[in-house]
Structure 1
Amino acid sequence: MASTDESLGGVIFDLDNTLIDTRGADRLAFQEVRLLLIGHGLNSQIDSVLASFSKRLAKEPSDPTGNLCSDKWRRNLWLAALQEAVRRPEEQCQLLAKVCFEKWLQVRLAHLELLPATKEMLVRLRGDERLRLGLLTNGEASTQRDKINACACSRFFDAVCVAAELGAEKPLPAAYLQCCQRLDVLPRRTVMVGDSWECDIGGSLAAGLRSAIWVNPGDQTPGPDTGGNQGWHSIHHVLEAEALIKKML
């Protein structure tokens, strides 16, 4: 490691619903798919289709066999959702699944962006010669890379880590430790910023990071104690993290 002192040297940010509003992009994407389905003569079945796709995606966001890429897998999820709710010939369902997937993906990626204020915060933090910035995100590799490319955020970080590519996803300690290694900063000199108690806060503290900042706009109740003595902080918006980070320097 580059330094052995105890000063703060690294900040690791989560991506989804921390730096970018993934939930908001999802809502907008579903609204567009709803309009698309109305245009195809589906009305009473729309809620069932959308609910079925959401449930299937949450349960298995990628092909458990590893045989299908994320695009083909998610198009198949749309097909399964349609076939469950709509009585139409196979060929029509196949075509409709294709257009649903393409519309959902297009709108979703189009609305994944770093807000100007978030960009400015990252520029200021990275401009501090005492800090190195990392990005650590869970999820299927190609899906997360598509998001990273859509919001053009790589340039703000010294290390961009997709946990699936590391071979360990948050909250496994290896995910945070490998990101720290790529930053060349000791875990005890690193803070994690994210919106998930389990993946970003509890997991990082259990892995030995110095501290964690929980982006918690809904004032949720913390999860199980990490068993460590490291402190953590709760904020309502990621922009509030900058002041806390500067206090730790």
Structure 2
Amino acid sequence: MTARIARLAWSAQVPLQCALARRFRRGRLFLAGDAAHNYSPATGQGMNAGIQDAVNLGFAARGSAGGFDAEVLLHSYEGERRAAAHRRLLLTRTAFWAEASTGRLPSWLRAVAAPRAAPAIPVLLGRRRLVAEAVRVISQLRVNYRHSPLSVEGTPPLHGAPHPGDRLPDAAVSVGGPAQRLHGLLARPGVHLLLQRDAAPPPDTANPRVTVLRLSNSPGRGLVAVRPDGHVGFRCGAADPAGLTGWLSLIGAAPFPPVRP
């Protein structure tokens, strides 16, 4: 089957804007979504990034009303989300440059290098782990806030669990009954404390802002605290009441903020 373009009915030039705001916050004014960053259409990043901005800012604003240090919590929004937006901007710019730039190098990549590399594509697509990781990166499931002041490592550290700042992955878990999906259990708004099977109970289990889940199929004495946006905020390999209470106070989820000396 062959096709031939007889005539061009309509065409237009669409200006492409890629931009990142210098600041995401000034005082009580916050920027989110397209007001904070503009990406090229490559890989379709804008909507997901805007939603993540809103969720991150929403939990920070809510927690700042009762936090020990509201300024740290509010300032974390810019530190976390602007860094993520900057990395995303580099990705989309590079992808669009390779796809559509008329420069000599990208044109050569499309005309010469891509056809030569085409036979390797089926082999790469057959690598399930590689494909899965690429999907996670493109869909922004690999966004992390490891360098945020809200990401705290307890004492002793919990090895083998997601790092503070990482998004908590889904898994099949048991809380005393049939296996369930972890993300389904985290659907309730607020902070979630995930206790390993033999972990000591947290200092305050009557906190309405915190849901405690004991994972009976996870041996150990550790604890993972999950932020309202699904990212790990705190972890410890054994009981660390002071560390946990301090982190809960930091994000405004403690029953009562600690009294300043």
Q: State the TM-score, normalizing by the size of structure 2.
A: 0.27
Larger-gyration structure (1/2):
2
Q: State the TM-score, normalizing by the size of structure 1.
A: 0.28
Higher relative contact order (CA 8 A, sep 6+): 1
